[in-house]
Chains A and B, each alone.
Chain A
Amino acid sequence: MKRVFVVDDHALVRAGVRSELADVPGAGGDTPRIEVVGEAVDVDSAVAAIPAAAPDVVLLDVHLPGGGGVEVIRRVLARHPSTLFLALSVSDAPEDVIAVIRAGARGYLTKSVSGPELAEAIERVAAGDAVFSPRLAGFVLDAFAGSVPVPADPELDQLTNREREVLRLIARGYAYKEVARQLSLSVKTVETHVSSVLRKLQLSSRHELTRWATERRIV
């Protein structure tokens, strides 16, 4: 059973996440797979309460009073670098998505996600893997689309063909399992590819991502 902390300023959303997760049965039957161990409504309360609750994963809204999800990630990671964040938002804006990912979130889900999908994503993040929703995969493909190879340090920022293939299938709505089957890979390999894309996304302070962000006046 994984312990999760929910940060969202909307009481309805917190209650919704709680009940969705409670409805996901665990392997043993009675106990749910995911337990909500704490809630916070804004940046300050989240930063104060997360370390004490010591959750496996923090479910984080992007828009929060007091500086937004990015601020929570920044301040918690500064003191507790091993905390894992999964962003959960209704936002459609690529700048929001990219900002939380670059701040250190291990994935991005939209609030239309179903209970079981959410539970699986939480477990995946708790295991140290990355979670890409179709939309996030689309943003990343868009960010790296048609990029000409940059001579300096191309290893860091370019996506490999395999990573692109994986992202495309995720953008098409494939679950990791299905991606693995389609590409004749193991799920573990798919997870590795996705994690390395996430790492490139977080590390690439230059080149494509910067250009992409600049074009959109994100940065």
Chain B
Amino acid sequence: MDITRRRQGRWLGGVCAGLASRFGLSVGAVRLGMVLVALAAGPPVVVGYLAAWAFLPIQDGTGVPAGGPDGSRGRPGGSAADAMAGAAVVVGAVLLLAEVSSWLPRSVLLPALLACGGAAVVWGGRSGDRAGPAAGGRMRPLRVALGVSLVLVGGVAMLAAVSDVRTIGRSAAGAAVVVAGVALMLGPGLARLARNLGDERRQRILSEERADVAAHLHDGVLQTLALIQKRAADDKEVRSLARRQERELRDWLYGRRQAAEPDGVAGLLRRELADVEDRYGVRIDAVLVGDAPLDDAARAVVAAGREAARNAATHAGVDTIDVYLEVEPERVSLFVRDRGAGFDPAAVPADRRGLADSVLGRVRRAGGHAEVHSTPGEGTEIELSVPRARAGTGERGQEKMARGQEKMDSGREQQ
């Protein structure tokens, strides 16, 4: 395990706390040791502490190193204030030390502190909080500029304290001229290079997308259109082809491409209904609200719903069937409705067991509730519902995920 700083129970940067927890020592002991060593050895320890503050990643009490997958580092802004408070304490302590002992001449100490402060400002953005590009992004250039100038001023002043000012001034000016010259020469070229790279990347993404669209339109839509023209005489076939293509295109456009394996009630139902549409040349307007993991009861309801839709497609004499699925916390309900011929449920001969067995019986055997409402001439509605198993927390989490997924999709099938 790497050494990290601690947000929890820290005084300054959390360096002592981090060391303590890394080596299994008491925080108090580490702090006392740190202070004693600082008093004895002086600046190197202080600089070392600041460097540790700047470079060591911070770790929250949760044990997740900050900047981890979730990228959250606690309150944004809060740690900037913390850092400033800490820096103030450190500066105060060092000044006090300089006052009571004499291990550092004032003329060197102040510039050194200035430089350290500058470094802290620059690195603070890195080590304190990465509040995200939105928050930190605007302030960052300012922060860097401020920090860099502090470091420069501090460094120059420190050097000036130990050598001749004019020499430094002259060499600094020379260095600045060289740097400016290099920047002038290379700057525009570098900027153009960066821009070109960006443009090229955009172009590539764009052309890849275009190729993807073209491939899809060609493989799917154009071929279906060709088929439709060939089979123009066959009404039912044409409708079914068009509907199937529409479904595919919608799935593709609205990002429901992962239809390979339906992992919930809604996915399975959608696939079953698509199959009924293709086989019987009807249009099924499905409105799906919510989703749940598949269990036996849910499977039974979907299978019964499929049968009900098939019945409507074959007997009702309609083009369109309405299906409504709603997953609630305590039950799954499914309604299959047509505005077709209808029938008198009481008058169904006893040997016509299709509806009773494969639709109603199926759901009732699964512990659910099934009803038929039908009026001759007005249509039929089959109402199915099963209670949902009281799942443990694990499954509930899964369901929540499935639900979030489904929310994106629900109702899209209907058109």
Using a CB–CB cutoff of 8 Å, the interface residues on chain A facing chain B are 90, 92-94, 110-112, 134-135, 137-139, 141-142, 145-146, 168, 171-174, 212, 215-216
Contact = CB atoms under 8 A, between A and B. Distances in A.
Interface string B392-415: 000000000000100110111111
A141 B289 contact: yes
B369 to A, nearest CB: 16
B414 A212 contact: no
A141 B403 CA distance: 13
Contact of A92 (B289, B324, B412): B412
A132 to B, nearest CB: 11
A100 B335 CA distance: 28
- List the 3 closest A-B pairs by CB distance, nearest first: A173-B322, A138-B287, A92-B412
A216 B326 CA distance: 19
Contact of B415 (A90, A141, A142): A90
B320 to A, nearest CB: 8
Interface string B206-250: 000000000000000000000000000000000000000000001
Contacts of A171: 287, 289, 324, 326
B254 A172 contact: no
B411 A135 contact: yes
A139 B326 contact: no
A171 B253 CA distance: 23
B290 A142 contact: yes
A216 B408 CA distance: 7
A172 B381 contact: yes
B329 A146 contact: yes
Contacts of B289: 138, 141-142, 145, 171
A92 B381 contact: no
A215 B324 contact: no
B324 A134 contact: yes
Contact of B250 (A92, A111, A138, A172): A92
Contacts, number: 76
B192 to A, nearest CB: 34
B337 A145 contact: no
B328 A141 contact: no
Contacts of A134: 285, 287, 322, 324, 414
B288 interface: yes
A141 B325 CA distance: 11
> Chain B interface secondary structure, helix, strand, loop or mixed?
mixed
Contacts of B288: 138
A92 B407 contact: no
B415 A172 contact: no
Contact of A138 (B328, B329, B411): B411
A142 B287 CA distance: 10
A142 B324 contact: no
A172 B322 contact: yes
Interface of B: 250, 253-254, 283, 285, 287-290, 322, 324, 326, 328-329, 335, 337, 381, 404, 407-408, 410-415
B308 to A, nearest CB: 13
Contacts of A135: 285, 287, 411, 414-415
B326 A168 contact: yes
Contacts of B285: 112, 134-135, 173
Nearest to A218: B408
Given A145-B289, A216-B407, 18 more contacts: A92-B411, A92-B413, A94-B407, A110-B414, A111-B415, A134-B285, A134-B287, A135-B287, A138-B287, A138-B289, A138-B410, A138-B414, A142-B289, A146-B290, A146-B328, A146-B329, A173-B324, A215-B407
B414 to A, nearest CB: 5
Contacts of B290: 142, 145-146
Contacts of A139: 410-411
B398 to A, nearest CB: 15
A168 B381 CA distance: 14
Which of A139, A168, A171, A216 has the most CB atoms of chain B within a 10 A radius of its CB? A171
Contacts of B415: 90, 92, 110-112, 135
Nearest to B337: A173
A147 B381 CA distance: 28
Contacts of A215: 404, 407
B174 to A, nearest CB: 54
A92 B287 contact: no
Contacts of A172: 287, 322, 324, 335, 337, 381
Contacts of B337: 172-174
B269 to A, nearest CB: 13
Given A90-B415, A172-B324, A173-B337, A142 B410 contact: yes
Given A110-B415, A173-B285, A173-B337, A138 B407 contact: no
Nearest to A143: B407
A120 B254 CA distance: 30
Nearest to A173: B322
A215 B400 CA distance: 12
A171 B381 CA distance: 13
A171 B250 CA distance: 20
22 contacts: A90-B415, A92-B254, A92-B412, A92-B415, A94-B411, A111-B415, A112-B283, A112-B415, A134-B285, A134-B324, A135-B285, A135-B411, A138-B287, A139-B410, A142-B407, A146-B329, A171-B289, A171-B324, A171-B326, A172-B287, A174-B337, A212-B407
Which of B283, B287, B290, B407 has the most CB atoms of chain A within a 10 A radius of its CB? B287
B410 A168 contact: no
B274 to A, nearest CB: 14
A2 B383 CA distance: 38
